[in-house]
């Protein structure tokens, strides 16, 4: 006897369905809250209350039908045992489901996922670095899937060498899981299973290795988990199987949600504006996206007895597909169901992560991934939008539809605009550590993936998160002293300072080859201006920025000479590298020749010459005096510590208008512009807070500043174009500043 009722207007393979599943369901839900869909040989349930009934009772609506019918081809059963498919978490019921789920849950706690957020941000920035200059691209492959896959690699403790495999497993697992309900196309069947078995074999080997020598990663934790009797709780193959599930659920579904969010925000520009202004709203954007369009629009169950839903008789053994997309937009549950509203009273009150015992165990990961990925994307590229009428490019599977691409465009002027508003960091690996002189180590850094690092120019520095002996980290700036032409490595030179605040000790004692270090993008407050002739002056570790400057001067065909002083010859770093420049380099060890003879060196004014100097304060003060008769703008310096500023009159309060936000705040005596901006919650970048790193440099639109930094030259300070808001204030007599912030 044929199943009834049917819903002739419903077509899970139609363009209308893939364009917006919830809207497609709305056309049939009122007349057919439960209907039979012959193409899937399953009942479709659309109303929220019926959906909750099915998801809430595993004894009457079993998950076993989700994977039990997956047929492993005989030629691959020696790698992927047939009975293993029944043990997928999505296809089991208690008590087996409880055992496997509880082991997996430990790896997806809210606290643990929140701890991943900084790593997700770093990886998001690096991904955007690679494509931001193009102005157009495929967001799915280029960003969404890239980010979620990399996050999963970090969580599972898989290196970059496994990136391609995990990327491929997403689609393979989706195909195999869907084959329990939808027949896999014959033309891809053999290829899918061959590639899945190959990846599965690699995972089994990895699990065996982690079981023998567990680390702190999630694969190791699952492999090492034991039951009450002391035996391993999961077999090696079961752990590997769950990794394949995570490859799909932990990467593809969140990537789909991020892409969907971009589409919804394009139609709700006010929501995008609000989220960019208030980053706490990105989680609301993500939740509302999931409500409107769950990445998995269905969940499936098997009826365990004859029963009735909304007056429709369903027989034992029948498959039931509950529509999460329809339940989330049921007008009997939610007001304005198709409006994209990021201010709903309970943004997470939806069924996108299903309900009951099979509620998605990776939901905490998805929420952190999705909200962070969207935040960074629009921080960096606020003008990003989908192209008009983007193609419906899907791998068409009703249970797990996979968006294959989403073409987007953006204004490349975002790149420069956002550099002053978004702090970018990355995790690098120490690939070499060598003595460069007595008390000086040279640290070489590279990205774990071996790829190119951001471009930089001579004089640039990076901010390094240095491990502190007492715990935590210290932020320190170090000049890059490698070749700016080498894209895959950076080098810094660090002097051990016994009287320092712990930064140099942290690097000397805390970093070894293989250590992971967080660093910021290069900043350059000491840029080498074009000139036919240079005189470089370095004192001690001040040689570090000068090395790249010499290389740049050589490449430009400029004349140059270096005067390099130090306590002893043995304490002077990188001397060996300078030997090839005999005649241009003048070494002045203090114990042999005394101090640098600056008065003699600069006795005669040399036309068309710029002087670049880095070293301790006494050296730079002496250089100021020696160059007093040279043209203004000749000397460019970089200091180790803040320049002392002597005030003849007391500070006064003043007002600052932040033009981008429209806020006007009062800066009282004893507080900085940066202090009041942060207290108000305005987005500001800062680091050293003492006027030496340049991170907080801000453009002046109106007014004059009392400059107290150690970066801007006298000419730059007089120009009143920018100021360091961590130390500088309004000039006396200027009651109001307007800043481009």
Q: How confident is the model at residue 181 (pLDDT cuts 50, 70, 90)?
A: confident
Instruction: Kindly report, residue by residue over 616-639, the tens digit of the pLDDT.
Output: 999 999 999 999 999 989 999 998
Neighbours of 200 (CB within 10 A): 22
Instruction: Give Cα separations from 343 to 261, 329, 401, 699, 702 (angstroms).
Output: 15, 16, 28, 34, 37
Mean pLDDT along residues 651-660:
92
Q: Which has more pLDDT, 684 or 599?
A: 599
Model confidence band, residue 722 (pLDDT cutoffs 50, 70, 90): very high
Name the more confident of 501 and 223: 223
The two beta strands, 440-446 and 490-495, are antiparallel
The CATH number of domain 423-520 is 2.40.30.10: yes
**Window from 5-14, 156-165, 355-364 with minimum mean pLDDT:** 355-364
pLDDT at 114 over 80: yes
**In angstroms, rounded to a whole number, what is the distance separating the alpha carbons of residues 680 and 694?**
22
Query: Which residues, other chains included, contact 391 with Cβ-Cβ below 8 Å and sequence gap of 6+?
Result: 405, 407
| Per-residue confidence band for 17, with pLDDT thresholds at 50, 70 and 90 | very high
Q: With 80 as the cut, is the pLDDT of residue 138 above it?
A: yes
User: In terms of residues, how long is the chain?
Assistant: 741
* Unique residue bearing structure tokens 């004014």: 605
The lowest-confidence range among 228-232, 361-365, 681-685 is 681-685
Q: Is the pLDDT of residue 92 over 80?
A: no
Q: What is the pLDDT of residue 109?
A: 85
Q: How crowded is the C-beta side of 44, counted as CA atoms within 13 Å? A: 30
Alpha carbon of residue 136 to chain centroid: 20
**286 Cβ neighbours under 8 A, 6+ residues apart:** 257, 258, 261, 367, 370, 371, 374
Cβ burial, residue 452 (10 Å; 0-12/13-18/19+): middle
- Concatenating the DSSP letter of every residue in 216-266 gives SSHHHHHHH-B-TTSSBSS-HHHHHHHHHHHHIIIIIHHHHHHHHHHHHHH
User: Rounded mean pLDDT of 556-580?
Assistant: 96
Mean pLDDT of 640-669: 86
pLDDT cut 70: percent of the chain above it: 98
Q: pLDDT: is 300 or 667 the higher one?
A: 667
Residue 713: the pLDDT is 83
Q: Are 169 and 248 in contact (CB under 8 A)?
A: yes
Q: How far apart, in whole angstroms, are the C-alpha atoms of residue 9 and residue 7?
A: 6
Comparing 283-292, 317-326, 502-511, 609-618, the range with the smallest average pLDDT is 502-511
User: pLDDT band at 29, cuts 50/70/90?
Assistant: very high
List the helix and strand counts (H, then E) for the chain: 25, 30
Least confident segment among 211-225, 308-322, 424-438, 678-692: 678-692
- Give the pLDDT of residue 449: 81
> In the Cβ-directed half-sphere of 630, how many Cα atoms lie within 13 Å?
23
- What pLDDT band is residue 116 in, cutting at 50, 70 and 90? confident
Q: Look at residue 43 in the predicted model and tell me its pLDDT.
A: 95
Residue 73 predicted with pLDDT over 60 = yes
DSSP 469: T
Which residue do the tokens 């989220």 mark? Answer: 275
588-613: average pLDDT: 96
State the pLDDT at residue 417: 81
HEC string of 55-92 equals HHCCCCEECHHHCCCCCCCHHHCCCCCHHHHHHCHHHC
C-alpha to C-alpha distance for 18 and 403, rounded to whole angstroms: 9
pLDDT value, residue 97: 62
Over residues 348-374, the pLDDT tens digits come to 999 998 887 777 777 888 999 999 999
Taking residues 657-667, report their average pLDDT.
90
pLDDT band at 2 (very low <50, low <70, confident <90, very high): low
Q: Residue 91: is its pLDDT beyond 80?
A: no
Q: Which helix (H) or strand (E) holds 139?
A: helix 139-139
Answer whether residue 1 shows pLDDT above 70: no
Q: Which of 690, 683, 694, 702 is nearest to 727 (CA)?
A: 690
Q: Would you state the structure tokens that stand for residue 18, as one six-digit string?
A: 């893939």
Name which of 285, 254, 234, 51 is nearest 143 in CA terms: 254
Assigned token pair, 122: 């770093």
Backbone angles phi, psi at 299, to 5 degrees: -130, 145
Residues 15-409, CATH architecture: Orthogonal Bundle (1.10)
Round to whole Å and give the CA distance between 400 and 67: 14
Using the predicted structure, report yes or no on whether residue 101 has a pLDDT greater than 90. no
Q: Residue 177: pLDDT band by 50, 70, 90 thresholds?
A: confident
Nearest CA to 117 out of 294, 330, 371 is that of: 371
Among 106-110, 591-595, 682-686, whose mean pLDDT is lowest? Answer: 682-686
Kindly state the average pLDDT of the residues 515-522: 92
Q: Which CATH architecture has domain 654-739?
A: Roll (3.10)
Mean pLDDT across the chain: 90
Of 170-184, 187-201, 584-598, minimum mean pLDDT range: 170-184
Residue ranges of domains in the chain: 15-409, 423-520, 533-639, 654-739
- pLDDT greater at residue 582 or residue 284: 284
Position 420 pLDDT exceeds 80: no
Give the tokens for residue 61. 């609506």
The reported pLDDT for the residue numbered 644 is 75
The predicted structure's pLDDT at residue 501: 66
Task: Find the mean pLDDT for residues 471-482.
Answer: 88
For residue 479, the cross-strand partners are 461
- pLDDT of 200 reads 94
Q: How far is CA 656 from CA 313, 687, 736, 738, in A?
A: 70, 21, 6, 6
Which DSSP string do the residues of 605-671 spell out, in sequence order?
Answer: PPTTEEEEEEE-HHHHHHHHHHTTTSPTT-EEEEESSPPP---SS----EEEEETTTTEEEEE-TT-
99-113, 319-333, 345-359, 725-739 — which is least confidently predicted?
99-113
Give the model's confidence band at 397: pLDDT under 50 very low, under 70 low, under 90 confident, else very high: confident
Q: What is the pLDDT of residues 402-417, one digit of tens each?
A: 899 999 999 999 998 8
Please give the sequence-ordered ranges of beta strands (E in DSSP) within 242-331, or none if there are none: 298-303, 307-309, 312-314, 319-323
CA–CA gap between residue 203 and residue 188 (Å, rounded): 22
In this structure, whether the domain defined by 533-639 belongs to CATH 3.30.465.10 is answered with no
Q: pLDDT tens, 537-558? A: 999 999 999 999 999 999 999 9
Q: Average pLDDT, stretch 509-520?
A: 92
In the prediction, which pLDDT does 424 show? 82
CA nearest 120: which of 233, 251, 287?
A: 251
Report the distance separating Cα 576 and Cα 281, nearest Å. Answer: 55
Contact between 535 and 598 under an 8 Å Cβ cutoff? The reply is no
Least confident of 43-47, 56-60, 66-70, 489-493: 66-70
SS3 of 385, please?
strand
How do the residues of the chain divide into helix, strand and coil, expressed in percent and rounded to 5?
Answer: 40, 20, 40
């Amino acid at each position: 006897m044929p199943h009834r009722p049917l819903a002739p207007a419903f077509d899970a393979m139609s363009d209308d369905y893939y364009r917006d599943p919830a809207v497609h369901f709305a056309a049939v839900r009122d007349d057919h809250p439960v209907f039979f869909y012959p193409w899937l040989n399953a009942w479709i349930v659309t109303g929220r209350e019926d959906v909750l009934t099915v998801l809430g009772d595993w004894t009457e609506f079993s998950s076993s039908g989700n994977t039990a019918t997956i047929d492993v081809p005989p030629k691959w059963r020696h790698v992927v045992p047939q009975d293993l498919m029944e043990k997928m978490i999505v296809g089991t019921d208690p008590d087996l489901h409880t055992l496997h789920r509880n082991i997996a849950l430990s790896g997806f706690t809210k606290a643990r996922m929140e701890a991943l957020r900084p790593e997700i941000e770093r990886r998001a920035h690096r991904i955007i670095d690679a494509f931001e200059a193009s102005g157009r691209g495929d967001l799915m492959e280029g960003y969404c899937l890239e980010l979620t896959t990399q996050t999963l690699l970090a969580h599972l403790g898989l290196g970059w060498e496994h990136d391609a495999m995990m990327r491929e497993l997403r689609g393979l697992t989706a195909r195999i899981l869907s084959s329990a309900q939808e027949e896999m196309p014959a033309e891809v069947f053999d290829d899918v299973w061959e590639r899945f078995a190959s990846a599965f074999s690699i995972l089994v080997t990895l699990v065996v290795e982690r079981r023998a020598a567990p680390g702190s990663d999630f694969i190791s934790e699952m492999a090492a988990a034991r039951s009450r009797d002391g035996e391993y709780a999961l077999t090696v193959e079961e752990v590997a199987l769950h990794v394949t599930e995570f490859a799909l659920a932990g990467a593809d579904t969140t990537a789909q949600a991020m892409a969907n969010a971009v589409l919804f925000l394009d139609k709700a520009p006010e929501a995008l504006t609000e989220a960019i202004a208030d980053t706490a709203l990105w989680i609301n954007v993500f939740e509302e996206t999931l409500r409107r369009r769950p990445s998995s629009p269905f969940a499936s169950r098997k009826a365990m007895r004859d029963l009735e839903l909304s007056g429709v008789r369903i027989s034992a053994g029948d498959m039931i597909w509950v529509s999460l997309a329809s339940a989330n937009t049921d007008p009997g549950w939610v007001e304005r169901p198709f409006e994209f509203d990021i201010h709903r009273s309970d943004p997470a009150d939806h069924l996108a992560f299903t309900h009951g015992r099979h509620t998605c165990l990776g939901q905490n990961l998805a929420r952190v991934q999705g909200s962070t990925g969207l935040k960074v994307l629009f921080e960096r590229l606020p003008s990003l939008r989908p192209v008009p009428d983007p193609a419906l490019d899907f791998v068409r599977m009703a249970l797990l539809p996979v968006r294959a691409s989403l073409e987007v465009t953006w204004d490349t002027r975002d790149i420069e605009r956002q550099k002053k508003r978004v702090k970018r960091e990355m995790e690098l690996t120490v690939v070499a550590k060598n003595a460069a002189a007595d008390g000086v180590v040279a640290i070489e850094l590279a990205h774990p993936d071996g790829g190119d690092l951001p471009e930089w120019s001579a004089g640039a520095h990076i901010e390094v998160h240095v491990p502190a002996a007492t715990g935590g980290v210290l932020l320190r700036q170090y000049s890059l002293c490698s070749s700016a032409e080498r894209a895959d490595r950076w080098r810094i030179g660090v002097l051990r300072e016994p009287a320092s605040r712990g930064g140099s000790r942290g690097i000397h004692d805390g970093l070894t080859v293989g250590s992971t270090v967080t660093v910021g993008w290069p900043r350059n407050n000491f840029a080498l201006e074009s000139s036919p002739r240079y005189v470089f002056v370095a004192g001690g570790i001040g040689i570090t920025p000068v090395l790249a400057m010499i290389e740049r001067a050589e490449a430009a065909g400029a004349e140059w000479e270096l005067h390099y002083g130090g306590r002893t010859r043995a304490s002077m770093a990188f001397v060996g590298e300078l030997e090839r420049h005999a005649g241009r380099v003048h070494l002045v060890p203090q114990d042999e020749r005394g101090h640098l003879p600056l008065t003699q060196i600069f006795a005669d004014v040399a036309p068309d010459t710029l002087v670049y100097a880095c070293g301790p304060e006494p050296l730079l003060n002496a250089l100021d005096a020696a160059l007093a008769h040279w043209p203004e703008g000749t000397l460019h310096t970089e200091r180790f510590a803040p320049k002392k500023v002597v005030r003849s009159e007391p500070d006064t309060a003043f007002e600052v208008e932040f033009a981008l936000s429209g806020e006007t705040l009062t800066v009282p005596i004893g507080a900085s512009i940066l202090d009041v901006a942060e207290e108000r919650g305005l987005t500001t970048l800062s680091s050293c807070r003492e006027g030496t790193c340049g991170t907080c440099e801000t453009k002046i639109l109106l007014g004059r500043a009392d400059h107290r930094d150690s970066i801007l030259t006298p000419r730059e300070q007089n120009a009143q174009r920018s100021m360091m808001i961590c130390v500088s204030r309004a000039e006396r007599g200027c009651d109001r500043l307007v800043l481009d912030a």
